[in-house]
A and B are shown apart, each in its own frame.
Chain A
Amino acid sequence: MAPTSCSLCRDAKAILKRPKTGQQICKDCFFFVFETEVHHTITESELFKPGDRVAIGASGGKDSTVLAYVMKTLNERYNYGLDLFLLSIDEGITGYRDDSLETVKRNQQQYDMPLKILSYDELYGWTMDAIVEQIGKKNNCTFCGVFRRQALDRGAASLNVDHIVTGHNADDIAETVLMNIMRGDIARLGRCTLICTQGEDTIKRSKPFKYAYEKEIVMYAYFKKLDYFSTECIYSPDAYRGHARTFLKDLEAARPSAIIDIIHSGEAFEVKEEIKAAQKAQQTCKRCGYMSSNDLCKACTLLEGLERGMASSVITDRARKKMDAIGPAPDNIRTIPLFRSTPTIAVELPSQS
């Protein structure tokens, strides 16, 4: 049987089938369409302006490694005029994050970008190892997720950047749409399909891989021979998200367009005005100054629970009220430093070889 020619250039031999479109294409065309689609996502949403300082959330995993590579490529190809940084968060997970951070450090050399690593230990006085030791594996993803979001913002503030880009891909967004519907999280459902979010007084966050299939990201990393870390987190028992992910993979197997169809659904609807009006207004945390919908932000609440030895009982609002009823927080507990968007922490520059 004669080899199939690429459906795009109609010249080279097709060596892969695009998961997103089902087209059989050659390697060079795949690189071109993948990068150009990300470029279109960036330009049509007007994510950046020349001179922006942009931090790339880097974990050493496939998504962030490909993101760093593609951002660097596009920045040079289309003259975005961006100052790119790598920003990593060290959650303090022995045997997982310490290994993946080694990959990030290699990426720093390979892509010639400044790197900033901010640790939970440095910011909160707790590592994930210590948190899991106190609360067990159940719900530990809640702590990690809340702490990471704030740590990223604080790391970005210390780098004095305007923007954080993260490697959330189309699969992640589709999964989040399903999750938010299944658990009734209206506030997150309303904003999870936005390409760019910005809280008051915080840095913009964007997802340039919003329409990129996870499989294509893996394919890109494989063909480009990119150096990434592929082990799953050792404390990752978010069972509910695991169910949603398995379901999404089944949908994708039945019809590959399901991922993009879910994102389209998520973009097509919005929360009714009367429901939005009843939601809590955004304010700043009275303890650390970070954005919050209550007097205390979620990170401060969780940290107080850890410090008071009641961590497992502060996951829900009702449990939080119970803790408050016991009495006010003692004065001697560790708290998160006041949030300021000024550079305070030194940046590690890549060594010139």
Chain B
Amino acid sequence: MLSCGNPAVEEQALMPRRSKFGKSKDCVRCRLKPGNIAIRHAVYCKECFTPIVDMKFRKALEPSVNARAGTSKRPKLKASGNLCLGFSGGLGSSILLDMVHNTYFSNRPPLDDSGKPRGGINHPRNASVWPSCIVCYVEVCGAFPGMQDRTEAIRSVVERYPSFDFVPLRIEDAFDESWWTKVSGSNSTPQVWLELSKEGLITDGLHVASKVTGLTPAEAIRLYLSSLPTQTAISSALQNLTRVLILHTAHSGGSSHLLFGSSLTSLSISLLSAISQGGGYAIREELQEEWAPVAASGSKPDNVLRVIRPLRDVTAKECAVYAWWNNVFVIGRDKQRRAILGIAALTKNFVVGLEKDYPSTVSTIARTCEKLEPKDAPSGQCRLCKRPMQSAIQEWKGRISIRSYSDDKLAADLAHIPLPCRSNLDTSTPCQVPPLLALTDFLCYSCHTTLTSRSSRGVKQSAPGVSSITPLPIWVGDRGLHRDGLMDGGARRKIPEQEMLDTVANFLIDNQDDKE
């Protein structure tokens, strides 16, 4: 092709560095005081900065608070359920806690002489936007031996806000039947196991764990993570487990809103990272989503959980300055988890580095992704990440690359296989091609890639004597794998002859008629 391009960057080609701020050093808002901080070439003083960030926060959150938008320009805010905040200890979520508390929970209604709210609890003036607020933290130390448990340290941070209830979770809860029973009310969900080394994740690799396996949830999560093929997959799996644990906890606690403290910077990083991992179909959910677990009947319940990122217009730099000037205590995220390499970490380094020369990059990524929507209607909810799933994913994967000569699609092309390669060719039995009913059909592209895509350094081999099967999160087995035809008490079910006959009976010509 006639393209050209050299990745080596020449000095002259770099964008000229712009000055840090615009024409004036005075605050662009009040125009009175000298500026203290430059945000994308605009200068703000300390007094004007905090209200601006607060305003961005409310502007991003409040249009989604009421269940129905209504016609009023300034509707009275009233959520249909409780509030849940996802907390990691990092900068964004620390600020989120502080902002939510100061904006919606610190202004207690005036009390009368008896110590009760004046006018009664039910007086409209005294009603909170959300009746209560829980703060969920997912401790990941169970996945990494030797890692420090930070639950108590996090608890002490949350206790600074008396209106919030702390709900500690552990990453291994994703494999804990008792936790699942608590949040879903279901007590007969089978633990699904999968043979990850097999390409295509065929149902022959699925097993129901017997009660005697004796794996603790912590052992299960470690086995699961160690079975994943790349660092990218581990990082992505942890992120998904954390997200789904919080989603279920929030939903089961009657929350109508779940807030995450993703800043504009971290949101842009996660958007670009999701696209790089094949998650383009669910890009809208990465920004904001309306989530509900799919019920046993396959339908979605009415009480939908809105997942919102109210700091989506506030950059990481603004968050840092806000925390510093408002004395927000930031305990920080655990370093060991941050050290996991992979696409997410590469994307972060790339975006943060690029932002130095091209300061609008972060904002542009988020704005561009806001203008996108999935091409087709979803074919269901992914069993692993619980996000909408595109149809015909395996067909697409099969179309773009040939992985086996037994693929039906190759039938017309086999005549062109070079002669030296034909002697040992066996096209009679399909291999590696997923059968009709496979777990692959219930996974989104991104999750399927997480489980199967390998690094260029080769396939990780199991140690001798170590089982190559791994448990999957407890929610994968929810909603009737039996109904979906994936499982029946053990491996794939052999259909009895009589049952097959019953199914096709209407299409058979009755032999009796012939005899007569």
Indicate, yes or no, whether A interacts with B.
yes
Chain A residues with CB under 8 Å of chain B are: 6, 8-12, 17, 19-23, 26, 28-29, 31-33, 36-37, 39-41, 44, 57-59, 61, 63-64, 67, 77, 88-89, 96, 136-138, 141, 144, 148, 152, 166-168, 172, 177-178, 180-184, 186, 189, 211, 232-233, 235-243, 245-247, 249-251, 253-258, 260-262, 264-272, 275
Q: Which of B4, B9, B361, B453 meets A239, CB within 8 Å?
A: B9
Q: Which of B368, B390, B399, B401 meets A186, CB within 8 Å?
A: B368
Q: Which of A10, A240, A242, A269 meets B424, CB within 8 Å?
A: A10
Q: A240-B358, A254-B342 are in contact. Are A270 and B375 (CB under 8 A)?
A: yes
Complex Cα–Cα for A29 and B423 (A)? 13
Contact A137 B454 (CB under 8 A): no
A153 to chain B, nearest CB (A): 13
Contact B346 A247 (CB under 8 A): yes
Answer whether residue B336 sits at the interface, using C-beta atoms and an 8 A cutoff.
no
A108 to chain B, nearest CB (A): 16
Complex Cα–Cα for A37 and B10 (A)? 37
Which residues of B lie under 8 Å from residue A272 when comparing CB positions? 371-373
B371, closest chain A residue (CB): A275
Contact B396 A137 (CB under 8 A): no
Contact A266 B280 (CB under 8 A): yes
Q: Which of A36, A245, A262, A266 meets B416, CB within 8 Å?
A: A36
A-B contact count (CB 8 A): 245
* Other contacts beyond A26-B421, A29-B421, A232-B4: 11, CB < 8 A: A9-B423, A11-B425, A59-B2, A136-B12, A137-B10, A167-B1, A184-B364, A184-B368, A261-B278, A262-B275, A271-B373
10 CB-based A-B contacts, threshold 8 Å: A11-B424, A88-B2, A136-B12, A180-B368, A182-B368, A239-B14, A243-B350, A243-B354, A254-B342, A262-B276
Which residues of A lie under 8 Å from residue B426 when comparing CB positions? 10
Q: Which of A20, A67, A270 meets B1, CB within 8 Å?
A: A67
Contact A269 B372 (CB under 8 A): yes
Which residues of B lie under 8 Å from residue A96 when comparing CB positions? 4
B residues contacting the other copy or chain, number (CB 8 A)? 77
Q: Which of A39, A137, A186 meets B413, CB within 8 Å?
A: A39
Leading 7 A-B pairs by shortest Cβ distance = A265-B280, A237-B13, A233-B4, A167-B1, A261-B278, A9-B421, A11-B424
Contact A239 B413 (CB under 8 A): no
CB within 8 Å of A: which of B416-442? 416-418, 420-426
Which residues of B lie under 8 Å from residue A17 when comparing CB positions? 456
Q: A11-B424, A178-B272, A265-B278 are in contact. Are A256 and B402 (CB under 8 A)?
A: no
Q: A28-B420, A256-B455, A257-B453 are in contact. Are A57 and B2 (CB under 8 A)?
A: yes
Contact B277 A166 (CB under 8 A): no
Q: A246-B7, A257-B449, A269-B283 are in contact. Are A237 and B402 (CB under 8 A)?
A: no
Contact A6 B421 (CB under 8 A): yes
Complex Cα–Cα for A32 and B419 (A)? 11
A128, closest chain B residue (CB): B4
Q: A22-B456, A256-B455 are in contact. Are A64 and B1 (CB under 8 A)?
A: yes
Contact B12 A270 (CB under 8 A): no
Which residues of A lie under 8 Å from residue B4 when comparing CB positions? 96, 141, 144, 232-233, 235-236
Q: A236-B6, A255-B230 are in contact. Are A250 and B375 (CB under 8 A)?
A: no
A25, closest chain B residue (CB): B421
Q: Which of B343, B364, B420, B445 meets A182, CB within 8 Å?
A: B364
Q: Which of B232, B374, B417, B459 meets A255, CB within 8 Å?
A: B232
Complex Cα–Cα for A320 and B274 (A)? 37
Which residues of B lie under 8 Å from residue A186 when comparing CB positions? 368, 371
Contact B5 A232 (CB under 8 A): yes
Complex Cα–Cα for A64 and B426 (A)? 35
B279, closest chain A residue (CB): A265
Complex Cα–Cα for A129 and B280 (A)? 41
Complex Cα–Cα for A352 and B13 (A)? 46
Q: Which of A28, A37, A247 meets B400, CB within 8 Å?
A: A37
Which residues of B lie under 8 Å from residue A232 when comparing CB positions? 4-6
Complex Cα–Cα for A346 and B76 (A)? 74
Which residues of A lie under 8 Å from residue B401 when comparing CB positions? 20-21, 33, 37, 211, 260
CB within 8 Å of A: which of B361-420? 361, 364-365, 367-369, 371-375, 390, 396, 399-405, 409-410, 413, 416-418, 420
B227 to chain A, nearest CB (A): 16
Contact B6 A181 (CB under 8 A): no
A105 to chain B, nearest CB (A): 15
Contact B403 A21 (CB under 8 A): yes
Complex Cα–Cα for A227 and B173 (A)? 59
Complex Cα–Cα for A255 and B276 (A)? 10
Q: A138-B13, A239-B13, A255-B343 are in contact. Are A182 and B361 (CB under 8 A)?
A: yes
Answer whether residue B281 sits at the interface, using C-beta atoms and an 8 A cutoff.
yes
B3, closest chain A residue (CB): A172
Complex Cα–Cα for A35 and B348 (A)? 37
Complex Cα–Cα for A186 and B424 (A)? 50
Complex Cα–Cα for A264 and B374 (A)? 12
Contact B6 A8 (CB under 8 A): no
A67 to chain B, nearest CB (A): 7
Contact B399 A182 (CB under 8 A): no
B283, closest chain A residue (CB): A269
Complex Cα–Cα for A28 and B467 (A)? 36
Which residues of A lie under 8 Å from residue B409 when comparing CB positions? 40
Answer whether residue B231 sits at the interface, using C-beta atoms and an 8 A cutoff.
yes
Complex Cα–Cα for A167 and B1 (A)? 4
Contact B372 A64 (CB under 8 A): no
A211 to chain B, nearest CB (A): 4
Answer whether residue B52 sits at the interface, using C-beta atoms and an 8 A cutoff.
no
B346, closest chain A residue (CB): A250
Contact A254 B12 (CB under 8 A): no
Which residues of B lie under 8 Å from residue A242 when comparing CB positions? 5-9
Which residues of B lie under 8 Å from residue A255 when comparing CB positions? 230, 232, 277, 342-343, 453-455
A184 to chain B, nearest CB (A): 4
Contact B7 A245 (CB under 8 A): yes
A215, closest chain B residue (CB): B456
When each residue 208-250 of chain B gets 1 if its CB lies under 8 Å from chain A and 0 otherwise, what string results?
Answer: 0000000000000000000000111000000000000000000
Answer whether residue B341 sits at the interface, using C-beta atoms and an 8 A cutoff.
yes
Which residues of A lie under 8 Å from residue B399 when comparing CB positions? 40, 44
Contact B371 A271 (CB under 8 A): yes
B452, closest chain A residue (CB): A257
Contact B445 A64 (CB under 8 A): no
A168 to chain B, nearest CB (A): 6
